[in-house]
Chain A
Amino acid sequence: MEDIFQGYKGGALEVLKKYNVRVWGTAKISTIRGDFEGTILPRSENDDDQHIVLKIITGYNIGVDIITITDMKETGYKKANYKIPEKEFPFTDGLPNVKLFGTGGTIASRLDYRTGAVIPAFSPGELYGAVPELADICNLTTEKVFAVFSENMGPKQYMQLAKAIGKEIENGVDGIVIGHGTDTMHHTGAALTFMVQNSPIPIIIVGSQRSSDRPSSDAALNLMHAMYAAGNADIAEVMVCMFGPTSDEYGLLHKGTRVRKMHSSYRSTFRTIGDTPLAMVNRHKIDYIKKEYKPRRKDRNVTIKPYFSDKVTMFYYYPGMKRDTLDAIVDLGYKGIVFIGTGLGHVNKELYPAIERAKKKGVYMFMTLQTIWGFVQMFVYETGREMMAKGIVPGGNMLPEVAYIKLGWALGQTDDLEEVNRLMLTPINDEITEREPYNGYLLYQGGIPEVEEFIKKVHK
């Protein structure tokens, strides 16, 4: 049966029932604070049960306190329609063929002004309706692989996605774009790098920091940048394509293994860590920053390695940490632990017995850094040397999240200690680099005259 009281519960539900007024009904409500008139809207599940939501004639929403209601009358009824209009995505000879995979994140959408609901646009027709410029960039086909929020993306989805990509490459597409929520984009970037090896075409993960229902959203531009890069870039790697500066100027192509979300809400949140991005991209061109990359090829010889063990975890060290935390992880049966240590890769002595115990139980342990930038160097201090002796392997300048994904991927394939170590320490695509260029670490501080001059003169 249809729910005619969407989201209402408790007191508010009682009141609606008492006066026989439905959601989507237009109603006149008398209260001790005066009269109100409008369309009854559904109520968000997490809001209280003391108010009824009305959309008044001027388009605004208000809430009416049920305690104040003295009478209520339904005067009409009009249910909202959620359908998004489709326009056929035009095929243009000579444009590259790009495949868009949907994972659940909203890339493009339109608003329902009656409900305020954001309706995702995903089919080529829907996307064309929302971002018509895409038709000038590529010929587009789409496929919804699954629908989960970014935070719910996990190993199962990585493997599913990797297989779908493999199939699509064999089908001969020129580039692949993956629509993705931004929170775990860099985890997926690493996972796909390991699972889809030797790709002949660009595989680009894209999303938006501001949802596409806002006029200032970065979604449309990100999508255009990603589609352009997928169809035209010479870089056949797994990449993330997001805003370079917060301004609507250009996007950056980041290597899937070196990229990280660095701000909770900024548009320019994705940064390449310990290196420069691969390229700058706008709607019409790509400016390559790095000279060396895996170039696009004509063949279709991709290798799909969809493996993952979920018996892997991360262990973020803090001063004063007790050894029982580590013991507990080991007792729960975890086989691989990525340590995130201080400084060059350290934890306190109190953990040593727990580390030895873990080692004895056959747990694979790797060290990464809280500093995010820089290399693990465990020879400098005795602590480091002691830890290595107890079985923790330094992870170079592998980012903690990347090391976690890689260890899960490695343990999904083998239990052999040497093989795990070999897989972990042999970079597939620069997850450990040989060198850190001077411009790979740039964190300018505001207030310093030359920095202020820079941000004033160059739009950021």
Chain B
Amino acid sequence: MQKFNPVKNYQATRKTIAYVSRKEATLNDYKRIGFMSGLEVHQQLKTAKKLFCRCPAGILHDNDDYNAEIIRHMRPTLSELGEYDGTALMEFKTRKEIIYRLNNQTTCTYDIDDTPPFIINKEALEYALEISLLSNLNIVGEVHITRKQYLDGSIPAGFQRTAILGVEGHIQLKNKKVRLIQLSIEEDSCREISDIGHTRVYKTDRLGIPLIETVTYPDCETPDELREAAEYIRFLNRSTGKVRTGMGAGREDVNVSCKGGTRIEIKGVAHNKWIPELSHNEAFRQWALLNVQKLLKVQVKNQEKWKIKSKKIDPAELMLKNKLMAAIDFSDKEVYAVNLEGFQGILSHFTQPKQCFANEIADRLKVVACIEKPNMIHSEEIDGSNIKADLDKIKELLNAGENDAQIVFWGPKEDIPTALETIEERCIMAFDTIPQETRKSFKDGTTIFERVLPGADRMYPDTDSAPIPLANDYIESLNKNLPVEIFKRYEQLRKWGIPSDTDNYILKNNLIPVIEQIEKLKVPAKFVGTFFGHTLKNIEGKRKKHEDFAYNRIVKMFEFIQENKLHYAISKMMLPVLLEHPNMDFFSILTSINFKKRSIEEILAPVNYLNEKFRETNSQTNKEKVVDWIMGQLHKQATGNLELSELKTKIEKAIK
């Protein structure tokens, strides 16, 4: 019999499930694995104050910029059936001490749940309703503030105040309609500073900022469709001009499943461009776990009675040689060897690029048992780091069989029972379920276990807030002042002849209303579109934008150009100066780029001289070449004074 090789097994299992990279993936691949995905798009609203208190919104602090700290522990509350819900129990098991860093400028006693809520921020409610209407949702008759439990500590109260504004809407993508489940308004959560062992530290600057969450049905069947939906919702939110932009102001939770899989929520994806890779890998991770189930059905006969076998070991006494363990100080830790009967080939089973099933266990040891990584080695390392002598010793100690796999893990004494439980629990789940999880995303497109996915049984009415009726005439008045829908904006851009590679920039920055303003000044929309989507975007990448710069200055610039009877092409030359010095007088900008107002005659005066000069030095007399050369000599003086095509015609006439 051939010896088992985990590195080869990793490659082989990758092949078995027919993993393809996203670049290679075709529509058929997604059909094959039954890719299904939806989004929960979070967007902060641009209000002056927070949602349920009167602290200023949108001021962020550095981790060390705080005035006081408080400690809380979160306790699960019993759910309807007298059971603790999955997340609740896990969070309680972890026994986390949660520390909040408070900065007086942005945090009051409401934030730390020592003062009841104030009346909901009406400005925020209105913005959120506008976006709900734009999302074609059925608006509720009365807003009921609900408490949604979070036990990870991200909200000091242990629950988030949230309310549904609309249900059952849709957005129109290029080739399909994506249905929306609901839109809610809620308070944003704390930002995590660190999470080490049993202590998690948060800062409360972001806490309480008004946030909306748009939830779609899992209607997206490819990662690209998913991204398109994410972009659409982002553009829709931004088209109101009433949402925050910048780092963390808009975030996505991505729900993914494959055929036979389960809903997995990838949390807090900060950039839409990461969505395709993340969702692709997650669907394949589930696809891989389904194969693990299949393999285990054969390898583990009596699944119902399956248990781990563990033994406390002394790594020094055993003289284990592997490099990782040799570098660790075990003086304040206990080390355990664990045998997983029938698990050969499972630990090294492919799950994600550079990750295998063993990672699923290591991740849970970190999150559930609070044991910092590196927290284990195992008998099937896919980087080839296994040392045979070590493994033999461990196997002997555990009296392991041929087809078993082994884990050696370590941690503080008090965390060992939870750790053993966690390993066993995860292995048993592998027999027949893909555990419902929220997962944390990484730039490289992979994810790690974050928490158990909470159920719907964690919502209950906020007894501190009265329901808010939404009268019909109020909703009607909002309906009358809505911006144009995004799919119509796409149509408009095409009608204007603006190239589609500018769409993203224009919609992201909500520039269509600005283009419309400038178009009224008789500047062709096509020119304005590329002026933003190409010229401005390009210059922004090269020069430092002054903090006073606003798109309104560009409108003013075009007004100036029109008033002074200049040609709009000069705008491209003025823009770099305007970006850096938005408060500079427009005449001064012209001076700084050496622009002089000239009549057509003035500009054309040197044409004959130039014509002769060209012919003197060039044997070629091709007229086109001559005109081009003269254009090159004159276009700088001409820009802003007349249309360059007009200049060309005039030159052609002049040299006959």
Which A residues lie at the B interface, using CB under 8 A?
31-36, 47-48, 50-51, 53, 56-68, 81, 84-85, 110-114, 116, 118, 129-130, 210, 212-217, 220-221, 245-249, 263-267, 446, 452, 455-456, 459-460
A111 touching B79, Cβ below 8 Å: yes
Contact of A36 among B71, B167, B470 (CB under 8 A): B167
Contact of A60 among B74, B82, B162 (CB under 8 A): B162
B148 → chain A, closest Cβ, in Å? 8
Q: Which residue of B lies closest to A247 (CB)?
A: B71
Is B592's CB within 8 Å of the partner chain A? no
A113 touching B459, Cβ below 8 Å: yes
A216 touching B456, Cβ below 8 Å: no
Q: What are 18 residue pairs bridging A and B, where the CB atoms are less than 8 Å apart in the complex?
A: A33-B139, A36-B167, A53-B467, A56-B167, A58-B181, A60-B163, A60-B182, A60-B184, A63-B141, A63-B469, A68-B141, A110-B77, A213-B77, A215-B149, A217-B158, A248-B71, A459-B69, A459-B70
Q: Which residue of A lies closest to B109 (CB)?
A: A266
A210-B113, A215-B151 are contacts. A111–B78 as well, Cβ < 8 Å?
yes
What is the CA–CA distance of A34 and B179 in the complex, to the nearest angstrom? 14
Residues of A with C-beta under 8 A to B469: 48, 50-51, 63, 65
Residues of A with C-beta under 8 A to B115: 264-266
Q: Which residue of B lies closest to A52 (CB)?
A: B141
What is the CA–CA distance of A47 and B458 in the complex, to the nearest angstrom? 24
Residues of B with C-beta under 8 A to A129: 78, 82
Question: Considering the complex, which residues of chain B in the window 129-172 have a beta carbon less than 8 Å from any beta carbon of chain A?
Answer: 137-144, 146-151, 156-159, 162-164, 167-168
What is the CA–CA distance of A47 and B467 in the complex, to the nearest angstrom? 8
Which B residues lie at the A interface, using CB under 8 A?
66-82, 88, 99, 104, 109, 112-116, 137-144, 146-151, 156-159, 162-164, 167-168, 181-182, 184, 215, 456-461, 463, 466-467, 469-472, 475
What is the CA–CA distance of A452 and B104 in the complex, to the nearest angstrom? 11
A142 → chain B, closest Cβ, in Å? 18
Residues of A with C-beta under 8 A to B144: 53, 60-63
B77 touching A65, Cβ below 8 Å: no
B142 touching A62, Cβ below 8 Å: yes
A68-B141, A460-B70 are contacts. A59–B77 as well, Cβ < 8 Å?
no
A33-B139, A34-B138 are contacts. A51–B467 as well, Cβ < 8 Å?
yes
B402 → chain A, closest Cβ, in Å? 43
B364 → chain A, closest Cβ, in Å? 22
Residues of B with C-beta under 8 A to A247: 70-72
Residues of B with C-beta under 8 A to A118: 463
A116 touching B460, Cβ below 8 Å: yes
What is the CA–CA distance of A31 and B112 in the complex, to the nearest angstrom? 40
A63 touching B467, Cβ below 8 Å: yes
Residues of A with C-beta under 8 A to B475: 33
B78 touching A130, Cβ below 8 Å: yes
Q: Which residue of A lies closest to B68 (CB)?
A: A455
What is the CA–CA distance of A112 and B475 in the complex, to the nearest angstrom? 33
What is the CA–CA distance of A380 and B72 in the complex, to the nearest angstrom? 48
A63 touching B140, Cβ below 8 Å: yes
Residues of A with C-beta under 8 A to B116: 265
Residues of A with C-beta under 8 A to B150: 215
Residues of B with C-beta under 8 A to A112: 80, 460
A267 touching B82, Cβ below 8 Å: no
Residues of A with C-beta under 8 A to B143: 62-63
B70 → chain A, closest Cβ, in Å? 5
What is the CA–CA distance of A337 and B240 in the complex, to the nearest angstrom? 63
Ranked 4 nearest A-B pairs via Cβ: A63-B142, A215-B158, A34-B138, A65-B141
Residues of B with C-beta under 8 A to A60: 144, 146, 162-164, 182, 184, 459
A36-B167, A68-B141, A215-B149 are contacts. A59–B456 as well, Cβ < 8 Å?
yes
What is the CA–CA distance of A241 and B471 in the complex, to the nearest angstrom? 47
B70 touching A246, Cβ below 8 Å: yes
B414 → chain A, closest Cβ, in Å? 15
Highest count of chain A CB atoms <10 Å: which of B88, B142, B164: B142
A213 touching B460, Cβ below 8 Å: yes
A214 touching B157, Cβ below 8 Å: yes
A33 → chain B, closest Cβ, in Å? 5
Extra pairs beyond A85-B82, A113-B458 (19, CB < 8 Å): A33-B138, A35-B168, A57-B456, A59-B456, A59-B458, A60-B163, A60-B184, A62-B164, A64-B140, A65-B469, A84-B82, A85-B81, A111-B78, A111-B460, A215-B149, A249-B71, A264-B115, A266-B114, A459-B99
Highest count of chain B CB atoms <10 Å: which of A64, A216, A247, A459: A216
Contact of A110 among B68, B78, B99 (CB under 8 A): B78
Residues of A with C-beta under 8 A to B215: 58
What is the CA–CA distance of A144 and B71 in the complex, to the nearest angstrom? 33
What is the CA–CA distance of A360 and B38 in the complex, to the nearest angstrom? 82
What is the CA–CA distance of A61 and B76 in the complex, to the nearest angstrom? 22
Residues of B with C-beta under 8 A to A33: 138-141, 475
B76 → chain A, closest Cβ, in Å? 7
B142 touching A111, Cβ below 8 Å: no
A215 touching B159, Cβ below 8 Å: yes
